[in-house]
Amino acid sequence: MSFERLLIVDDEEDMLTGLQRTIERNIARLEVVTSTRASEALRLMAEQSFDLALLDVMMPEMNGIALLEKLRAKDPELSVVMMTAFASIDLAVDAIKKGAYDFITKPFDKDTILRVIHKGLERNRLVRENVTLKEQVCQKKAFASFIGQTPAMTQFCERLKTVALSDYTVLVRGESGTGKELAAQAVHRLSRRRNRPLIMVNCPAIPEHLLESELFGHKRGAFTGAERDYPGLFVEADGGSLCLDEIGDIPVSVQTKLLRVLQEQEIKPLGDTRTRRINVRIIAITNQDLEKKIIDRSFREDLFYRLNVVTLTPPRLFQIRGDIPLLVDHFCRQVCCELGIGGKHFSAEAITALMGRAWPGNVRELQNIVRQAVLFSVDSVISTSDLGALIPSENRFPDETASWLSAPAGNERVPAYKEAKEDLLQKFMSQYVVRLLQDTGGNVSRAAEISGLTRAALQKIMRRTAIQANSFRHHDF
């Protein structure tokens, strides 16, 4: 059990000495820190965390109520007990309104003060535990759409959490279908702004002549049709986050004004002569090559550097190939639930085939293939034949054996023996391991026992085929 820390602030040194001695003798594992001045208490609060504070109300430098407000501003969860020799109902009510947990009148006996401290520390533990649980729930919700256990996905999620805790402008880049919008939403949900609005703006969907007004607002009469004042999306997002999707399609005229917002943290509505301060975090999304757009002068270089403070790039599907079984299982159960049908699942051969594709459309393409396969398959087990009709001929996975074996003589090059053997062996290993882990629910020890391999040998094959046991274990989504 770790030590807890108590801060006592009182301008009477004898009172502090007596309290510290009494508390340390009667409460184990509690560090007592004392101060005779409010300014010193604020410094101590900035340097370390406390679990409970006892504050005298009447102090010369700053009264206890004012100090209470400042301490609670630094740590809203801090439990604070006020002490005074001049008790009154109004004073007690004011202290409670300002966030005090309890109010105690001097002089107090040993049992009373110890009881108050024990209750205050207990409340602190409950409050901190509640905050921790809320943060865990928030994280679970934020990452609910990110399915995967591969190193690339794990590393991306860790980076996303780190970025979210800062207040920097974020540029989310990557190909279509990789989950850029989900990443932007997760950044907001994991940030300190999560209780404030997240406004999503699809920039290309708003006509160029209206985009400026939509973002920055306008005054009545600023242009034809402006019949009333409109605050704009920046004002709506004040205190929260504004996500600008497809930032590369914003016209240069609007880019100039956006640059000023990022530099000055203020906006000027159309038709207004005054500016307004705003506190908004910008999260920009693009699948375009902004550096190329800078060269052809369709995107401002200075805006690019203002946006590109921190970059997030969700991994492409081929980079998390080992997560495909887990993704397929998740999407399959999701579609079955949407359609209200009995459970279906993909055969080991079908999953192996899906793992062998390039997936130019990334996770979105995989999700659409799974939807169609579940919708159109007659049997409960979805096979490679069910998939074949859904994939364009130019994008179909290779034949489960090898195309050159079934091709007429002379129509396709026969590969070197070593190359052909390795290709067939790799396909066999993938199919065998997928089926093995499907049957055992991802239990590697059980799979090794069934296969007759040692656990170490099976794990070596799993690494070689980029297949992870976690992808086959039962998960709740």
| Both tokens assigned to 343 | 């459970």
Q: Residue 199: which pLDDT band, with cuts at 50, 70 and 90?
A: very high
Residue type, 182: L
Residue 395 has pLDDT above 80, yes or no: no
Nearest-angstrom CA–CA distance, 400 and 396: 11
Which has more pLDDT, 294 or 406? Answer: 294
**Tens digits of per-residue pLDDT, 308-339?**
999 999 999 988 888 888 899 889 988 998 89
Find the range with the poorest average confidence among 74-78, 118-122, 431-435.
431-435
Q: Residue 402: which pLDDT band, with cuts at 50, 70 and 90?
A: low
| Phi and psi, residue 58, nearest 5° | -95, 105
Domains and CATH numbers, the chain: 4-135 (3.40.50.2300), 146-312 (3.40.50.300), 318-472 (1.10.8.60)
Q: Residue 286: which pLDDT band, with cuts at 50, 70 and 90?
A: very high
Nearest-angstrom CA–CA distance, 144 and 321: 19
Adjacent-strand bridge partners of 201: 244
DSSP for 192-237 reads TTTTS-EEEEEGGGS-HHHHHHHHH-B-TTSSTT--S-B--HHHHT
Q: Provide the pLDDT for residue 397.
A: 46
- Crossing angle of helices 180-189 and 110-142, rounded to 10°: 170
Nearest-angstrom CA–CA distance, 122 and 101: 12
Q: Provide the pLDDT for residue 139.
A: 55
Strands 276-277 and 266-267 turn out to be antiparallel
| Phi and psi, residue 195, nearest 5° | -90, 0
Q: Provide the pLDDT for residue 137.
A: 56
Nearest-angstrom CA–CA distance, 396 and 122: 62
DSSP for 417-447 reads HHHHHHHHHHHHHHHHHHHHHHHHTT-HHHH
**pTM check: above 0.75:** no
Please state, as a whole number, how many other Cβ atoms lie within 10 Å of the Cβ of residue 87.
14
Q: Write down the residue that tokens 């034809």 correspond to.
A: 224
Q: Provide the pLDDT for residue 401.
A: 47
Q: What is the mean pLDDT of residues 97-106?
A: 85
Question: Which sign, positive or negative, has the C-alpha torsion 439, 444, 445, 449?
Answer: positive
Q: Provide the pLDDT for residue 236.
A: 93
Residue 192 has pLDDT above 50, yes or no: yes
Q: What is the mean pLDDT of residues 368-386?
A: 90
Q: What is the mean pLDDT of residues 157-186?
A: 93
**Tens digits of per-residue pLDDT, 7-34?**
999 988 888 998 999 998 999 889 999 9
Which has more pLDDT, 440 or 143? Answer: 440
**Tens digits of per-residue pLDDT, 105-148?**
888 888 999 999 999 999 888 887 776 666 555 555 656 677 88
Nearest-angstrom CA–CA distance, 291 and 313: 16
Which has more pLDDT, 464 or 42? Answer: 42
Nearest-angstrom CA–CA distance, 193 and 185: 12
Q: Provide the pLDDT for residue 60.
A: 84
Q: What is the mean pLDDT of residues 457-468?
A: 82
Q: What is the mean pLDDT of residues 296-303?
A: 94
Please give the mean pLDDT across all residues of the chain.
85
Q: What is the mean pLDDT of residues 72-92?
A: 82
